Amino acid sequence: IGKNYIFFDQIDSTNMYAKSNDLPDGTVVLAENQTKGKGRKGRRWISSKGKGLYFSIVIKRNYPLNDLMKLSLLFPYAVKEAIKDYLENQIKIKWPNDLYINNRKFAGFLIETEIEGNEINRIIAGIGININNEPEEFGDIKDTATSLKIEEGKTFCRKELFCRVLETIEKSLDKFSSLDLTDEIEKDLLWKGENIRILDEGIEGRLIGLDRSGGLKVLTEKGVLTVYSGDISVRKI
Ligand code: ATP
Ligand code: BTN
């Protein structure tokens, strides 16, 4: 990863660029500023110039479709592993793929895949990490969004964190098949043991953990239900 870099001072969205160009495996598209940073479900991702890390990794390898959930969990897991030693605060993973500190989100992941039959052929892993962002930059989402600087009270070297993150993602991908993400993620799972609601599905219950393929297990009145879709939104109740 990172043998091929494409750097933009400003672009609409690194994911859109990576998707609409035929880039080789391992290419990293990085931007200082995105004018149309994308979140999941067509939402917006605030990308303030020079403050965070906004990048997309192109992975052109074949994976069985069954690995989709585990693959999309790999990215938040690897980013957490890469930066946790730099922080005093504990990082939590909000399933399926956001990273939180002190109940506020500081990193988001937009994992877009191309699938043919039962195989994943291409992954565009879009990663946004708020590093040195100030509270004012978040406008009306300042109660739910945060940055490493806001939580830790100091400025971070983005270059250093970026290198660590890429290195950790590369290592995690290389040992993907033997990697057991279930236990690793479960120990830092946001809202574990608490009551949650899964939007759209109408499921409510206690979040109890992850199953072996990365699905979310919820103890409801009807027993334990497991949800797999990466398009799901979980809320605390
Ligand atoms: P869920 O993932 O549970 O659906 P979410 O609010 O995290 O909820 P996403 O689609 O994952 O939704 O992320 C997009 C949302 O993230 C936006 O609607 C906005 O509220 C929030 N957001 C946008 N930019 C940032 C940012 N730089 N840092 C933190 N949060 C942001
Ligand atoms: C989310 O939380 O919904 C996902 C946010 C993903 C943001 C990153 S920033 C780099 C890449 N380019 C985009 O337009 N989005 C992702």
| 131 phi/psi in degrees, rounded to 5 | -105, -75
Pairing of β 195-198 and β 234-236? antiparallel
Direct distance between the N- and C-terminal alpha carbons of the chain, in angstroms, rounded to an integer = 40
DSSP 138-200: GGGGTTTB--HHHHHSS---HHHHHHHHHHHHHHHHHTGGG--HHHHHHTTBTTTTSEEEETT
State how far the alpha carbon of 154 is from the alpha carbons of 49, 89, 148, in Å. Answer: 18, 13, 8
Ligand closest to CA 56: 2
**pTM of this prediction exceeds 0.90:** yes
Instruction: Find the 31 Cα to ligand 2 centroid distance in Å.
Output: 12
Residue 98 Cβ < 6 Å to ligand 1: yes
Give whole-number Cα distances, 50 to 106, 134, 138, 142, 186, in Å: 15, 12, 14, 19, 33
Kindly state the tokens that stand for 213: 């393929």
Q: Which domains does the chain have, with CATH numbers?
A: 5-186 (3.30.930.10), 195-236 (2.30.30.100)
What's the gap between Cα 6 and its chain centre? 21
ipTM of predicted complex: 0.96
Alpha helix segments (H runs only) across the chain: 14-20, 68-83, 148-152, 158-174, 181-186
Minimal CA–CA distance to 26: which of 54, 5, 53, 55?
5
In angstroms, rounded to a whole number, what is the distance separating the alpha carbons of residues 116 and 62?
10
Ligand nearest to the CA of 72: 2
Contact yes or no for 156/131 (Cβ under 8 A): yes
What integer pLDDT is reported at residue 202 of this predicted model? 85
Tens place of pLDDT per residue across the chain (237 aa): 988 999 999 999 999 999 999 999 999 999 999 999 999 988 999 999 989 999 999 999 999 999 999 999 999 999 999 999 999 999 999 999 899 999 999 999 999 999 999 999 999 999 999 999 999 999 999 999 999 999 999 999 999 999 999 999 999 999 999 999 999 999 999 999 999 999 878 899 999 999 998 999 999 999 999 998 878 899 999
What's the confidence (pLDDT) of residue 15?
A: 98
Describe the chain by its helix, strand, coil percentages, rounded to 5.
Answer: 30, 35, 35
Ligand 1 pocket test target in 111, 112, 141 with most atoms within 8 Å of CB: 141
Atom of ligand 1 nearest to the CA of 104: 29
Quote the CA–CA distance of 168 and 1 in Å, as a whole number.
10
The C-alpha atoms of residue 70 and residue 82 are separated, in whole angstroms, by 18
